[in-house]
Structure 1
Amino acid sequence: MVAGACGIAAGTPLAILGGIGRSARLGAIVKGGVHLETLGKVDTVVLDKTGTLTFGRPEVQQLLPSPGTTDDELLDAAASAELRSEHPLGRAIVSYARSQGRKIVEPTSFAYTPGRGIATRIGESTVLVGNRAWMAENGIGMPASDHDVAAGSEVFAARDGRLLGSLAVADTVRPEAKRAVEALHRLGIRTVLLTGDARHVAAAVGGALGIKEIEAELLPEDKLKRIQALVAQKRVVAMVGDGVNDAPALAEASVGVAMGSGTDVAQESADVVLLGNDLARFVETLAVARRTRGIIWQNFAGTIGVDALGIVLAAFGFLNPLLAAAIHVVSELVFILNSARLLPTPEKTVTAKPELIPELAKV
């Protein structure tokens, strides 16, 4: 009579429900209890750069035309080629061209190669826009890079086999990103930056945020292989990303986390969606997941302890049926109340502030 697993059976679902509810109040939608439990065991966080550590709203900083090419020719070709692109850099170029009053010609064909660039037909010309590797693959003669784009990216444009020049496009790092990375480190979590951007861009952003493991110029399949390698090392990996390029890696990770501003494909592939596009919410949700898992283990250990003690006392005649029933009911109530601590309350789940991250990291 005194033995039973009711504390676990009733307390565990309540703890998971409370953890998911509290995470939702913080601005993170967890798509199931198993994902919350996995998030509580995460020891490695892999971060994308564009749209995750940065706002994903880059702006054209400078036009760098080749000799014999004007700024307008370079901008017109790049904007027309990028008109149907969904990449943040492409949208930035189109937005800049419109702000300059340029007429953007509709391309007659459009082909996108992830992690490289695009090929379009504009009128009678073939226009290529993308990174240095994309130009090299298409036989475009490239000069040695002598431009310092700092934490920005160089987007090259070519027409009919001739390089027109490049556009310097830079993004802004999210203000809460550094605090979030620092909080992850305090939790003992390893951080890795994987991006398709140039090495100097990744190094500048990663260095500013305190991320030591940085890999750049990666294709989507390269990111996928890196995630698979980490999982094969028995690491519990959370992948945080926002783009179509991140979808395979998000699906392969132990738990995938998508930014709310990300693409539909990324959000569909992810197990957790951050509605507020705020990395601070991710750290807070991770802390909630760890606390949820801790409470579940408290209930498990407490139930086993009460059952073992009750059985021993009953075996030696120290318990009667009435007292055994009382111990059973009271212990179950204690475990349920322990799990109920996770249920969100209006006073404790108002908008969380970034400055609270250091305290949350101690949970």
Structure 2
Amino acid sequence: IVVAGSSAVDASMLTGESVPVEVGEGDVVTGATVNAGGRLVVRATGVGDDTQLAQMASLVERAQSGKARVQRLADRVSGVFVPVVMTLAVATLAGWLAAGFSPTTALTAAVAVLIIACPCALGLATPTALLVGTGRAAQLGVLISGPEVLESTRNVDTVVLDKTGTVTTGKMTLVDVIAGAEADRSTVLRRAGALEDASEHPVARAIARGARAQLGALPAAAGFSAVNGEGVCGTVDGQAVVVGRESLLTERGMHLDGTLSAAKARAESEGKTAITVGWDGAARGILVVADTVKPSSAEAVRRFNELGLTPVLLTGDNATVAARIADELGIAQVIAEAMPADKVAAVQRLQTEGKVVAMVGDGVNDAAALAAADLGVAMGTGTDVAIQAADLTVIRGDLRAAVDAIRLSRRTLATIKTNLLWAFGYNLAAIPLAALGMLNPMFAGAAMALSSLLVVGNSLRLRSFTSVIADA
């Protein structure tokens, strides 16, 4: 609890909310969130295992321990394959001898059975595909934690997407400047940018960054002062400029006209942050700041749909912001204002509805949900705890890489199954021929080698896998 001071707190690691929260005396703050500016004196109400961060770690541990191991088909078969082949070879030897053939003929048939049934192709089916598949994945910036992950990708039908840092940039960005009737856009942006350049607030940094990008060098501000939780004041171009909340301008006798009021209301209805600018006794403009969608996210969502996956947007941010982002991406299902435990509950609720869920996230607040999901995909630009909790990690911050991860995992699994099908089919067809004396050991050896080469060749086809990013 804050006992003295005021500041803006970046709580995105907990809530996913991109806009820093203004806090003051009596407000509750959470350990491990970031003080974005200002001085706070706080009293701890929970330490150690009672903190939110410790509870999130506990959620991750419980979710990971609840995951079942998926055994590979080849491992299950290997326990019975060799005894069965040995039995068939002995039966072949006994059958030929009982039929009155010479020991040489009987032994030749039995040896042919042993050679043709050599489980080389069966043994190579899984590891060669895994080796090539994971190697190609690494080239594309996708890390696969283990072979059991491939099994999880097969039945996934729902992909839950974290908002902040996953589908959005996770940074506040200047998206619009609206000038009033008696000012021009460049002047509003230049004066506001010059003043905000002296502030450490995340929204101020976004405005200053946007102003420099559009206008170049900014003039120096004199007499800068910050009004806690409200905005900043100072002198730019010889004018006393005020930038901040509408209430700050109103206190100084600066009121928004109809055009600026409508622009502010429109921005806020879309979940964006509207900053007012005024000087010389009047409001002069509105600056609109928001966490923007990554350019590639809409295509990634479309690709997920093509894979038969239903996208769900899951965020700790407020419902208005979540709805705006979902609308931009074409996502119909939205779960907003979700704390870390709520994210786990949302994933589990989808699972109880019969969904097989993939979770894509990047933050500490996503870690438990990543572990609870049937398939966890972490953005490599995110936190270590999220990466450790995930099954797949995509190194770059492009959501399309998550599409690649699922596509390549599915294709690798399909290759493994094709290899196993060939290995089993080859043995089922060739063993009877060898037992009946239709294959001598020399031809049996050649056939066995050919089957292994076919398995390896089929696995090498994974090297031709093409990224959707390369197609763009």
TM-score, structure 1 as length reference: 0.68
**What's the CA shift for 1:203?**
1.5
- 1:17 equivalent to 2:131? Answer yes
**What's the CA shift for 1:194?**
0.8
Q: Deviations over 1:38-86 (max 9, x none)?
A: 2344222110111111111123779xxxxxxxxxxxxxxxx99xx8xxx
Alignment gaps of 5+ in structure 1: 63-78, 84-90, 107-144, 156-166, 358-363
**What's the CA shift for 1:210?**
1.6
Greater shift in the superposed pair: 333-342 or 39-48:
39-48
Q: Within 5 Å, which residues of 2 pair with 1:42-57?
A: 42-57=156-171
CA distance in 1, matches of 2:207, 2:288: 14
Residue equivalent to 2:379: 259
- 1:354 equivalent to 2:354? Answer no
Preserved contact between residue 28 and residue 285 of structure 1 (Cα < 8 Å): yes
Preserved contact between residue 60 and residue 169 of structure 1 (Cα < 8 Å): yes
Q: 1:30 aligns with which of 144, 148, 156?
A: 144
CA distance in 2, matches of 1:173, 1:301: 44
Query: Taking structure 1 as reference, are residues 233 and 302 closer, same or farther at Cα in structure 2, changes over 3 Å only?
Result: farther
Query: Taking structure 1 as reference, are residues 232 and 215 closer, same or farther at Cα in structure 2, changes over 3 Å only?
Result: same
Aligned AA for 2:205? S
Q: Within 5 Å, which residues of 2 pair with 1:64-143?
A: 92-93=202-203, 95=205
Identity %: 42
**What's the CA shift for 1:240?**
0.6
Residue equivalent to 2:428: 308
**What's the CA shift for 1:168?**
7.0
CA distance in 2, matches of 1:279, 1:25: 16
- 1:152 equivalent to 2:271? Answer yes
CA distance in 1, matches of 2:272, 2:386: 23
Residue equivalent to 1:332: 452
Query: Taking structure 1 as reference, are residues 300 and 234 closer, same or farther at Cα in structure 2, changes over 3 Å only?
Result: farther
Preserved contact between residue 17 and residue 343 of structure 1 (Cα < 8 Å): no
Q: 1:288 aligns with which of 408, 417, 441?
A: 408
Greater shift in the superposed pair: 18-27 or 34-43:
34-43
Query: Taking structure 1 as reference, are residues 3 and 168 closer, same or farther at Cα in structure 2, changes over 3 Å only?
Result: same
Aligned AA for 1:341? R
Aligned AA for 1:51? G
Aligned AA for 2:145? K
**What's the CA shift for 1:318?**
1.8
Q: State the structure with bigger RCO (CA 8 A, min sep 6), 1 or 2.
A: 1
**What's the CA shift for 1:13?**
0.9
- 1:246 equivalent to 2:366? Answer yes
Residue equivalent to 1:317: 437
Query: Taking structure 1 as reference, are residues 353 and 287 closer, same or farther at Cα in structure 2, changes over 3 Å only?
Result: closer
CA distance in 2, matches of 1:149, 1:330: 67
Q: Deviations over 1:170-189 (max 9, x none)?
A: 11111111111111111111
Preserved contact between residue 392 and residue 405 of structure 2 (Cα < 8 Å): no
Q: Of the two, which has the highest radius of gyration?
A: 2
Residue equivalent to 1:183: 303
Aligned AA for 2:293? V
TM-score, structure 2 as length reference: 0.53
Preserved contact between residue 152 and residue 168 of structure 1 (Cα < 8 Å): no
Query: Taking structure 1 as reference, are residues 151 and 267 closer, same or farther at Cα in structure 2, changes over 3 Å only?
Result: farther
CA distance in 2, matches of 1:281, 1:42: 17
Alignment gaps of 5+ in structure 2: 1-113, 177-197, 210-219, 229-263, 275-286
Structure ranking higher in helix proportion: 2
Query: Taking structure 1 as reference, are residues 24 and 41 closer, same or farther at Cα in structure 2, changes over 3 Å only?
Result: farther
Query: Taking structure 1 as reference, are residues 93 and 303 closer, same or farther at Cα in structure 2, changes over 3 Å only?
Result: same
Aligned AA for 1:189? L
Q: Deviations over 1:190-242 (max 9, x none)?
A: 21111112222212211221211111111111110011122334433211111
Q: Deviations over 1:269-291 (max 9, x none)?
A: 22222211011111122111111
CA distance in 1, matches of 2:384, 2:426: 48
Q: Deviations over 1:10-56 (max 9, x none)?
A: 12111112111111111122222222442344222110111111111
CA distance in 2, matches of 1:6, 1:232: 41
Aligned AA for 1:354? I
The secondary structure found in structure 1 opposite 2:419 is helix
Query: Taking structure 1 as reference, are residues 220 and 354 closer, same or farther at Cα in structure 2, changes over 3 Å only?
Result: same
CA distance in 1, matches of 2:270, 2:164: 11
CA distance in 1, matches of 2:365, 2:225: 30
Preserved contact between residue 49 and residue 195 of structure 1 (Cα < 8 Å): yes
